[in-house]
Structures are given as structure tokens and as C-alpha cells.
């Protein structure tokens, strides 16, 4: 039986697509996920949860070993879940890309960072696509999930995958589907977060949507891979620009001597037309500080300057300097200077209740304080040790840090910190996250 789209495109009766659709419908499809990180491993486990055979492919042998040993190294994925599927031989991991020959569906979840010159670094995507092209056969679905600029799927991936004469939409199927993993989110996981999908052709979309519907509650089809790529960038640019706005609000309220947290809380009572964001010490994570710059980079190649993106990035990137100036003011009020003062950084991960340090503003704050001659310590129950540039520190016991510090800076507002104790034992606290809201104290300075 031909799908309606296939019939419209005059497809022959027996063709790779029907074969693949049949395997998907009967859950015989062999899936593979390239990149076993905070996106790939949860995705692979979700695919296995649907009863589909899945192979995790990663260059990092230690990740492969840990998965095959039934253990998880991603906080949002339990070892019990990994072990269950490995024991049932539904999930395994390999470093050898030749496994792709056996696979019907390959999903790419590799990092897309910025290079040294702040330009997109798609080297890991290119490498994954090259490995797929080397092992490609008719009847495969290939999906890119890594966040990237609009056009990547069609302009960069498609030519490589058609190089040997296979045709997208006929012999293989190519789509983009942005990942929407929110690390540490207690409510939304892979299964119950709607998944946007855009195909290089309508048939590509149809095949990808059929596959994802096996393990995602709601699939959201869009008209092209570019549209799907742009959806993700809108989502994250929306956050970056609004965080930049609220950070600038904090700078303005500081000059107006108005409590920005009170203003935001009151504005948030508006039941429509407003969405609260919180000021902070800067923008961390591997997405929000980076993804919008993929979009502005692409638009620059089209002679357009994405001013909101650039301005928001500038304001967000400047917040660590603002924090350090506030530390300086706090110490000055005790006739101390930053130089030779002991500063305790409370919380170093890029957001609360996780252990991820990527792009964390805490690292910038630490570097800036060290440059001004401060003796910097930190306490973070999620991060036992940090090592970056010329800094190597271990998390100090909280009571000891509070006793020794001339100034405490709350950079990440982990839920499991005893903030009343911080107020009791600290000399002065700079609270960049309103973690001490509700604790009235002359020792606490808010951002
Ligand atoms: N931040 C603020 N103020 C805010 C919100 C966040 O300063 O009001 C800071 C956070 O502290 C953090 C950074 O921004 O340093 C990013 O925070 P985030 O909450 O956006 O968290 P991410 O980057 O882990 O995950 C985001 C997802 N988060 C949410 O939707 C809440 C989502 O945008 C994407 O699925 C994900 O990035 C991604 O992978 O793109």
C-alpha cells in the first residue's frame, strides 16, 4: 500500500519508503543515535522505552563502556533505565560507525558549539554526516537534532548524502527535528515535550513523523527543514533576548534604587501579555548563549545584522563584570578592597540543581575576582571540583567557607542550600539570584 504522499509523487509500489514505513509500523526499525550526551542518551532510552532496538554511537569509549555496563552518566537518566534496556538487549552502544549499515534510522545529537572566533563550529555534524554517507544504504531515515542555523540540513547534509546517487525522498529520508531537552526539568522529558519536525521533502517528513510518533507524545510537523531549524533558534533567541532585557532592567533598577525582583514579581501578576524572566549573573549553558549567535552568523552571510541578538549577548556577557563591581562595593562598605579579600562563590553550575558547568557565569566571576587579587573559594553541592584555565578549586564545606569569607556571592541558587544559615554566618552576601528572598537582613545585597 502506498502512502498518499508517495502516490502523489508517483512512487513505485515496492520502494525503500514503504519498506521503512512497514518496519516503523511494526517496530522492527533499527534505530541509532549519534552522540551519547545530555540529548542523545535520554533520546536513546526513550526509543528503547517504545520497544525499538537502538544503538548509541559515540567516539568516547568510556561513555560506550558505561552504557553497555548498564550505567548512566546523565543526571536526567537513571542507571536503572539504561540497565533495563541493555539487559533486554534493546539498547547497546558502540564506537564503530560501520554499525550504521545495519540501521534504518539514524538521529544525530552531537554538540554544535562556537569556534574560537565565535562562529558556528559544525565540525561534529560534518563528521557524523560523513560517517553516515560512508555507510549509507537505500531505505534509511537520517535526522539532525543538533541546534544549527537555518539551511544546514539542506545545504550541508543533503549534498553529502546524495553524493553517491541516492535521492532524498526516494532512496533515503532526511529531516531536522530540534532537541528540546531542559536538563533538570522535573516535569518535561523527551516523551512529553512536543517535537517539531521538518523534512527535506514531504515524504521525508512523513517518514520522520511516523518514527518519532512511536516515542514522542506529540509531533509537530512543519513545512521544511529550514522552518524546523528556525523554530529552535526562535525559542532560544526568545530566551536570550528576554534574559538580556531583564538583566538591563536590573541595571536600571539599581540606578533608580528600585528592587528589580519586586518589580518583576509584581509585573508577573499580569494574567496576560507578560512572561517573567529573572536577572542573574550572566547566561550559562550550551544553548542559550550560543544558539542565537548561529542565527546572527547566518544572517550576516545574507547581509543582515541581527541587532537584538547582538545587544542581548552583549548585556548578558557583561553581567559577570557587574557582579564583580557589586562585590567591590560590598567590600568597600567594610573598608576592604577586593584585593586580598576572601570571596566565597555559592553555586557554580550554570543553573540551579544541576552539575553542568558549561558557559557558567560563575567561572567568569571567579576569573574576574582573581584578576582583581581576591582569594576565591566556592561551595557547590553538585560540583565537587572545578578546573579551568589556571584555576583548580575544590568545593569547600559551607560552614568553613562562610566563616572564612569576607564576602559571599550567591551565583547559582541551588535549592538544597541552607540560606538562613548563610545569612547567619556570612559577613555580607551578594545575592545575584534572589535566593534569599523572604530573608530580611542588612547583610544581604541584591543584584
Ligand atoms: N537564566 C536567567 N534568567 C532566566 C532564565 C534563565 O538568567 O530567567 C539563565 C540560567 O541561569 C542559565 C541560562 O540562562 O544560565 C540558560 O537557562 P535555561 O533555563 O534556558 O536553561 P538551559 O540552557 O539548560 O535549557 C534551555 C531550555 N530551557 C528552558 O526552556 C527553560 C530550553 O530553552 C532548551 O530546550 C534548551 O535550552 C536547549 O537545549 O536548547
280-335: per-residue pLDDT in tens?
999 999 899 999 999 999 999 999 999 999 999 999 999 999 999 999 999 999 89
Distance of CA 3 to the CA centre of its chain: 36
**pLDDT score, position 16:** 80
Residue 365 near residue 324, CB atoms below 8 Å: yes
Nearest to 91 by CA among 60, 73, 64, 128: 64
Dump pLDDT digits (tens) for 335-387: 999 999 999 999 999 999 999 999 999 999 999 999 999 999 999 999 999 99
Atom of ligand 1 nearest to the CA of 240: 14
Q: In angstroms, rounded to a whole number, what is the distance separating the alpha carbons of residues 95 and 38?
A: 17
Dump pLDDT digits (tens) for 124-146: 999 999 999 999 999 999 999 99
435 CA → ligand 1 middle, Å? 17
CATH topology of domain 4-223: Rossmann fold (3.40.50)
Atom of ligand 1 nearest to the CA of 178: 40
**pLDDT score, position 390:** 86
253 given a catalytic annotation: no
Residue 447 pLDDT > 70: yes
Q: In angstroms, rounded to a whole number, what is the distance separating the alpha carbons of residues 202 and 350?
A: 39
The pTM of this model reads 0.92
Cβ contacts of 324 within 8 Å, gap of 6 or more: 338, 365, 368, 369, 372
Cβ contacts of 311 within 8 Å, gap of 6 or more: 244
Cα 13 to Cα 141, 164, 170, distances in angstroms: 19, 23, 12
- Specify the CATH class of 238-446 in words: alpha beta
Residue 145 near residue 179, CB atoms below 8 Å: yes
Cβ contacts of 302 within 8 Å, gap of 6 or more: none
Atom of ligand 1 nearest to the CA of 247: 7
Mean pLDDT of the chain: 95
336 CA → ligand 1 middle, Å? 35
Cβ contacts of 234 within 8 Å, gap of 6 or more: none
Instruction: List every span in the chain annotated with CATH 3.40.50.720.
Output: 4-223, 238-446
Q: In angstroms, rounded to a whole number, what is the distance separating the alpha carbons of residues 126 and 120?
A: 12
DSSP labels for 258-327? --HHHHHHHHTT-SSS-------S---SSSTTTHHHHHHHHHHHTT---HHHHHHHHHHHHHHHHHHHHH
**pLDDT score, position 286:** 87
Residue 2 pLDDT > 80: no
Residue 224 pLDDT > 90: yes
Nearest to 369 by CA among 340, 390, 392: 340
Please, which residues bridge with residue 397 across strands?
A: none
Question: What is the DSSP pairing of strand 195-199 with strand 172-176?
Answer: antiparallel
Nearest to 308 by CA among 242, 253, 229: 242
**pLDDT score, position 339:** 97
285 CA → ligand 1 middle, Å? 7
Residue 13 pLDDT > 80: no
Ligand 1 contacts CB of residue 238 (under 6 A): no
Residue with cell 552522540: 35
**pLDDT score, position 1:** 42
Share of the chain above pLDDT 70, in %: 97
Q: Which of 109, 253, 287, 407 does the annotation list as catalytic?
A: 287
Please, which residues bridge with residue 445 across strands?
A: 430
Dump pLDDT digits (tens) for 24-49: 999 999 999 999 999 999 999 999 99
- Dmax over Cα atoms in the chain, in whole Å? 84
Residue of 38, 239, 274, 364 to mutate, ligand 1, most atoms within 8 A of C-beta? 239
411 CA → ligand 1 middle, Å? 15
Cβ contacts of 206 within 8 Å, gap of 6 or more: 3, 5, 21, 199
Kindly report the protein residue whose alpha carbon is nearest to atom 11 of ligand 1.
351
* Grid cell digits, residue 141: 531515515
Residue 9 pLDDT > 60: no
Q: In angstroms, rounded to a whole number, what is the distance separating the alpha carbons of residues 109 and 178?
A: 9
* Grid cell digits, residue 435: 535566593
Amino acid at each position: 500500500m502506498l502512502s498518499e504522499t508517495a502516490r502523489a509523487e508517483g512512487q513505485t509500489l515496492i520502494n525503500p519508503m514503504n519498506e521503512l514505513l512497514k518496519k516503523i509500523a511494526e517496530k522492527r526499525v533499527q534505530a541509532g543515535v549519534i552522540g551519547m550526551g545530555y540529548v542523545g542518551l535520554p533520546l536513546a532510552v526513550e526509543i528503547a522505552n517504545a520497544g525499538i532496538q537502538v544503538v548509541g554511537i559515540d567516539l568516547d569509549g568510556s561513555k560506550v563502556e558505561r552504557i553497555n555496563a548498564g550505567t548512566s552518566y546523565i543526571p536526567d537518566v537513571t542507571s536503572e533505565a539504561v540497565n533495563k534496556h541493555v539487559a533486554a538487549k534493546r539498547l547497546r552502544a558502540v564506537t564503530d560507525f560501520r554499525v550504521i549499515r545495519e540501521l534504518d534510522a539514524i538521529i544525530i545529537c552531537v554538540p554544535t558549539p562556537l569556534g574560537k572566533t565565535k562562529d558556528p563550529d559544525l565540525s561534529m555534524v560534518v563528521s557524523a554526516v560523513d560517517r553516515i554517507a560512508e555507510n549509507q544504504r537505500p531505505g534509511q531515515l537520517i535526522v539532525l537534532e543538533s541546534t544549527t542555523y537555518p539551511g544546514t540540513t539542506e545545504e550541508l547534509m543533503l549534498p553529502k548524502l546524495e553524493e553517491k546517487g541516492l535521492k532524498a525522498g526516494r532512496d533515503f529520508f532526511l529531516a531536522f527535528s530540534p532537541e528540546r531537552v531542559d536538563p533538570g526539568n522535573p516535569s518535561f522529558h523527551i516523551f512529553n515535550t512536543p517535537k517539531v519536525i521538518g523534512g527535506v521533502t514531504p515524504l521525508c517528513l512523513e517518514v520522520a513523523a511516523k518514527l518519532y510518533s512511536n516515542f514522542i507524545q506529540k509531533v509537530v510537523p512543519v513545512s521544511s527543514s529550514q522552518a524546523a531549524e528556525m523554530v529552535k533558534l526562535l525559542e532560544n533567541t526568545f530566551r536570550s533576548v528576554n534574559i538580556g532585557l531583564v538583566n538591563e532592567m536590573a541595571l536600571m533598577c539599581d540606578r533608580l534604587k528600585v528592587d528589580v525582583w519586586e518589580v518583576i514579581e509584581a509585573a508577573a501578576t499580569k494574567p496576560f501579555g507578560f512572561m517573567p524572566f529573572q536577572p542573574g549573573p550572566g547566561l550559562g549553558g550550551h544553548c542559550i548563549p550560543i544558539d542565537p549567535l548561529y542565527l546572527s552568523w547566518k544572517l550576516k552571510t545574507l547581509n543582515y545584522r541581527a541587532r537584538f541578538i547582538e545587544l542581548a549577548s552583549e548585556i548578558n556577557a557583561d553581567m559577570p563584570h557587574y557582579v564583580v563591581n557589586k562585590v567591590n562595593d560590598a567590600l568597600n562598605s567594610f573598608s576592604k578592597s577586593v584585593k586580598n579579600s576572601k570571596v566565597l562563590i555559592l553555586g557554580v553550575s550554570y543553573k540551579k540543581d544541576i552539575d553542568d558547568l558549561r558557559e557558567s557565569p560563575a567561572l567568569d566571576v571567579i576569573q574576574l575576582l582573581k584578576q582583581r587579587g581576591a582569594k576565591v573559594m566556592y561551595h557547590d553541592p553538585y560540583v565537587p571540583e572545578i578546573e579551568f584555565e589556571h584555576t583548580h578549586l575544590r568545593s569547600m564545606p559551607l560552614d568553613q567557607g562562610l566563616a572564612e569569607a569576607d564576602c559571599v556571592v550567591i551565583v547559582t541558587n541551588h535549592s538544597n542550600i541552607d540560606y538562613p544559615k548563610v545569612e547567619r554566618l556570612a559577613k555580607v552576601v551578594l545575592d545575584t539570584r534572589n535566593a534569599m528572598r523572604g530573608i530580611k537582613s542588612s547583610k544581604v545585597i541584591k543584584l
